Structure formats: C-alpha cells, structure tokens
Amino acid sequence: MPLTKTDFITLNEAKDPQASRLLFAIPKKGRLYEHCQKLLAGADIQYHRKNRLDIALSTNQHVSLVFLPASDIPKFVGEGIVDLGITGQDMVAESGADVDEVMELGFGKCDLCVQVPIASGITDVKDLVGKRIVTSFEHLVTKYVAQLDADANKTRKQPVKTAVSFVSGSVEAACALGLADAIVDLVESGETMRAAGLTPIHTLLSSQAVLIANKKAPHPELTAKITRRIRGVILAARYVYCNYNVARAKLAEAIKITPGRKAPTVSPLENDQWVAISVMVAKDKVAEIMDQLEAIGATDILVFSITNCRA
C-alpha cells in the first residue's frame, strides 16, 4: 500500500531539520518483518507504531522508522528519501538501486531459481529460448534472458526472443495455468516449488536480508551507532558462550578446538593441574565442539546463549 497523506505529514515532521531524525526503512510485512522487529529490539531502538500508520518515531533514539514494502526499500534508500533500510539482496539487485550494502543480516536466506515443470523434461536453460517465462523479478530476468537469446541467436538464421512477463505473487502457479513454460522465483525450503510440480534448473542469485544505506546518508555518526548495535545483535545470534575445565596438559589441544574469535580466556583453577576456559563458539558448531572437548577429557562443559555483544 502506498504511503498515506497522514504518513507524509508524519514523514515531514520526522524530516524536520531541527529534529533531523535518521529515517530507517523496515519491511512492513512478510518474511523479514518479524526478524526486523527482533533486530530493532536487540539494538534498543524503541518505538510505538500507531495503528495503520507506516511511520513511527523512535522514543529513545533520533530515528524514525518507515514501514515500506521490501521491494520499494532499495529505491527509497538509493534516492536518499530514507537513510537506512533492511531488505533482501534480491530486491537490491532487482531494483538496480545504487546503495551501500552495509551488512548481511543472516536471515531471509533464499535462492532465485529458474524452475520448470518436472513433466517438461527440460534440464537446460538454453532450451527455454523462445519460450515464455513468468516472474516477479522482471529486470533481472529480462537481463538474464537477453544474454541467453543473444548466445542462441549467434547460431540461428531466424532470431528468437524469449518472452518475460511480470506477476506480483503466486508465481509458481503460472505454469499450471498455462501462462508460462518456466518461472523464476525464490526458493527456500523448496516446498512451494515441489507442490507446484516444478524443479530448479538454474540459480540466478543467492540472497539474504541486508542492511543498506544511502551513499551520502546525512547522519554518519548515528548510522555508525545503529550499525554497530545491529552487528552486535547479529553476532550474538551466531555465537554461544562456552565454559569448561580441562587438564593443563591438554591446553594446546583445547585451544585448537576452541580458538575463540581472538583467543580464549584461560583462568587458573585452585587445582593447578587444571585450567578453566571461556570462549565464544559458533552456534551451529557447538555440538561438534562439545564432542571434541569431551574426547580430550574436558569436564563441566557449559554453554550459554549471548543476548548481545560487541566484538
């Protein structure tokens, strides 16, 4: 939904140079919305969003949050209408907007894939030349198809053109509806693709959510502060804190298993044959690491979640 008149009044207030708030665009719904809410909470950017209003002034930071469709955010950031934004890398690529990609956020991971009906037997994108492709990623796909066509036409007498048409959602239905021979859409678990009887034959790009900034954003210090805070929240989500005891004789082996981000903290125990180690460990490797620590005789291995951190 476009911004309403009330939104623009609030936006103008928010842009009042006296207030000079940083404008931060957040996807207004969908896959990225909840993750963004958690990020904002972790970064302690508090706000109260009034019912149906797409702008919210932060109550504790010099920031106004602007809730927009994920697909519009790269353009708004690129043009400097807002200073910072969160969206998918796929949306940034599709928009062609010139923005600073400040940081990958580790959620909203998916691939943009060319998909064909399993029954078509097509396995090569070259076999789509001259056929019909339906997608929401019109610019990316048009560019990709232009190259496919150009390559194919080098060896053809009669040039062919692959047709690309746009739909805004439920792209996977296009083949079954007889609108397309192939589609290009996002795949995460692959459930939607399989349910539609489709199979992937090529990946155009891999995407995840990113923090993007206008290249001439007028609030460098506030931008840097928010970026640092968000980086802390992201980092905290990727790591756990691990504490264990190990025989001093095994210290070198233990450090190899848990080298930490810089180095582990090694503290003496009352028993001078043993030391205690505290260290950050990647969350997705923690079970493996605990197995390895146990195998060298480490004891009292404790793992704690980290709610926030600065590294």
Taking the C-alpha atoms of residue 3 and residue 251, their distance in angstroms, rounded to an integer, is 60
186 binds ligand PRP (CB under 6 A): yes
Binding mask 98-137 for ligand PRP (x = CB under 6 A): ----------------------------------------
* Proportion of the chain in helix, strand, coil states, percent, rounded to 5: 35, 30, 35
What's the CA gap between 23 and 15, in Å, rounded? 8
Residues 200-229 that bind ligand ATP (CB under 6 A): 207
191 binds, among ligand ATP, ligand PRP, none (CB under 5 to 8 A by kind): ligand PRP
Contacts of 303 by beta carbon, 8 Å cutoff, 6+ apart? 240, 241, 242, 243, 281, 286, 290
CA distance 127 to 197: 19
Closest approach, Cβ 167 to ligand ATP, in A, equals: 11
Which of 71, 115, 214, 245 binds ligand ATP (CB under 6 A)? It is 71
187 lines the binding site for ligand PRP (CB under 6 A)? yes
At its nearest, how many Å lie between ligand PRP and the CB of residue 192?
A: 3
| Beta carbons within 10 angstroms of residue 11's beta carbon | 17
Residues 16-35 that bind ligand ATP (CB under 6 A): 29-32
Q: Are 19 and 12 in contact (CB under 8 A)?
A: no
Q: Pattern of binders to ligand PRP over 147-176, x per CB under 6 A?
A: ----------------------xxxx----
Residue 54 Cβ vs ligand ATP, minimum distance, rounded to whole Å: 15
Distance in Å, CB of 135 to ligand ATP, minimum: 12
CB of 237 to ligand ATP, least distance (A): 16
- Residue 26, token pair as written in the block: 């957040």
The distance of closest approach from Cβ of residue 261 to ligand PRP in the complex, given in angstroms and rounded to an integer, is 32
**Residue 261 in the binding site for ligand ATP (CB under 6 A):** no
State how far the Cα of 183 lies from the Cα of 193, in Å rounded to an integer. 10
Q: Which two tokens stand for residue 218?
A: 């007028």
Shortest spacing between CB 256 and ligand PRP, in angstroms:
38
Q: 276: Cβ–Cβ under 8 A, 6 or more apart, which residues?
A: 243, 244, 245, 266, 267, 268, 269
**Is the Cβ of residue 34 or residue 79 nearer to ligand ATP in the bound state?**
34
Residues 165-204 that bind ligand ATP (CB under 6 A): 169, 186, 188
DSSP alpha helices (H): ranges in 43-186? 73-78, 89-95, 138-153, 173-176
Of 7, 83, 90, 149, the one binding ligand ATP by CB under 6 A: 90
DSSP string, 9-38: HHHHHHH-TTT-PEEEEEESSSTTHHHHHH
Binding ligand ATP by CB under 6 A: which of 66, 91, 180, 233? 91
Query: Which stretches of the chain bind ligand ATP, using CB under 6 A?
Result: 29-32, 69-71, 88, 90-91, 108-110, 169, 186, 188, 207
